[in-house]
Amino acid sequence: MNWKSISFDWNRTRAFLATAELGSLSAAAKSLRLTQPTLSRQVSALEDELGVALFERSAHKLQLTPSGIELLNIAREMGDVAHKFSMAANGQSQDLEGVVVISACQLDAVYRLPPILSKLRHEEPSISIELVVTNDVSDLKRRDADIAIRSFQPTQPSLIAKKLGDEQVYLYGTREYLQPFLDLGAIEGFQDVQIIGFGNNSQIIEQFAKHGWQLTEDNFKLSTEFQPAQLELCKQHLGLMYLPEDIANKEPQLVRVPNEFFPVMQIPLWLVCHEELRTNLRVRRVFDLLAAELAVLGDP
C-alpha cells in the first residue's frame, strides 16, 4: 500500500459522511457529539484536502455536489469498515468497566429499567450505562446501542437474540371512564369507546377486526407516540390504552377491561446484542442481568 497517497483525515471523512446521511450540519453535529462550528470546519478542511467541493451551500440546505455523491459511496464503505473494526475491538474487552449503551422503549425505560439498573449499579459500580430511550429500532450493527430490548425477533445473522417470553398486554382505563360501558354489560356498548392511539392505528384496528370489532379512526380521537403522555391522557378519563400488566399494576387509578369485551394482545420480548459484543465481558454481564430480570415478564 502506498501510504503517502492517503492524505485525508478519517475524522473529517466521518464528519462528511454524517452530514451527507443526516442532511444537515446541526443533525450531524448532534449525532457525533460535536459543536456545529467544529463539524463545519472538519467538512471544509476535508474539501480543502481533497481539492473538491462536496456540498453546495445555500441559506436553507446542503446539497451534495456530483463529486460529493461519488465520494459518498466510498465514505460509506469506509464507515462500514470502521464500525466493523470498532465492534471487533470492543468484543475483545475483558474489563468489567466502561460504558454499555442500552436501547429501550419509553415504557420500559420509565417503569422497568430503573430498578434493574439500580441493581446493576450496586453489583457492578465500574460499569456505566447510557440509556437510549426510543420506540424506533436502534441499529446495533452501527453501534446505536450495545443491547436492545425489542418486541420482535431480529433477522440479521450478525445479531444474537434471546427470547425472554411472551407478555400479555391488556386494555386499561380509569374506573370513571369504564363504568358507563361496563354497566351496559354487552360488547355492543363499547362501539363508541375511545382508545388512545399511536397516530397510525391500523394495526390496532386490524387486531380488533379479527375479534369481530369494526372500529374506525373515530375511536382514536387522541393519538401520540409518546407513551408517558398516553398514560396521562388515560388517567384523565379520556380513553383506554394497551399496557403490560406489570406496568399497569403500578398505576392504581387504572383497572383492566374484562377479557370478554376486548382482545388481549400478546407481544414477544427479545433481548438483542451484536455477536461480537457478546464476547465483551461488561456487555455480557449487563446482557445476562437484563435477561434474568426481564424474563419474568414473559412468563405465562
CATH code of the domain covering residue 287: 3.40.190.290
Q: State the DSSP string of 67-129.
A: HHHHHHHHHHHHHHHHHHHHHHHHHT---S-EEEEEEE-HHIIIIIHHHHHHHHHHH-TTEEE
Q: Residue 268, class by beta-carbon neighbours within 10 Å (0-12 exposed, 13-18 middle, 19+ buried)?
A: middle
* 203 and 276 fall within a common domain: yes
* 60 and 100 fall within a common domain: no
Q: Among 45, 66, 91, identify where a domain stops.
A: 91
What confidence score (pLDDT) does residue 228 get?
A: 92
**287: Cα within 13 Å, side-chain hemisphere:** 22
Set of cell numbers at residue 19 = 452530514
pTM value?
0.64
Can you give the CATH number for the domain in which 52 is found? 1.10.10.10
Q: What's the mean per-residue pLDDT of the chain?
A: 82
Residue 137: which domain range?
Answer: 96-300
**Of 138, 121, 139, nearest in space to 129 by CA:** 121
* Separation between Cα atoms, residue 139 and residue 109, nearest integer Å: 18
% the chain with pLDDT above 90: 23
Set of cell numbers at residue 185 = 354489560
* 70 and 133 fall within a common domain: no
C-alpha 257: how far from chain center: 28
Bridge partners for 143 per DSSP = none
The number of distinct structural domains making up the chain is: 2
Give the pLDDT band of residue 238 (cuts 50, 70, 90). very high
Window from 18-32, 182-196, 285-299 with minimum mean pLDDT: 182-196
Q: Among 51, 74, 91, identify where a domain stops.
A: 91
Set of cell numbers at residue 45 = 478542511
Q: Among 91, 112, 129, identify where a domain stops.
A: 91
Give me the mean pLDDT over the 213-228 stretch: 87
Please state the φ and ψ torsions of residue 150, each to the nearest 5 degrees: -130, 160
How many C-beta atoms surround the C-beta of residue 207 within 10 A?
A: 16
Give the pLDDT band of residue 8 (cuts 50, 70, 90). low
Set of cell numbers at residue 20 = 451527507
Dihedral (Cα; 239, 110, 166, 118), 10-degree rounding: -160
Is the pLDDT at 262 greater than 80, yes or no?
no
What confidence score (pLDDT) does residue 2 get?
A: 44
* 148 and 205 fall within a common domain: yes
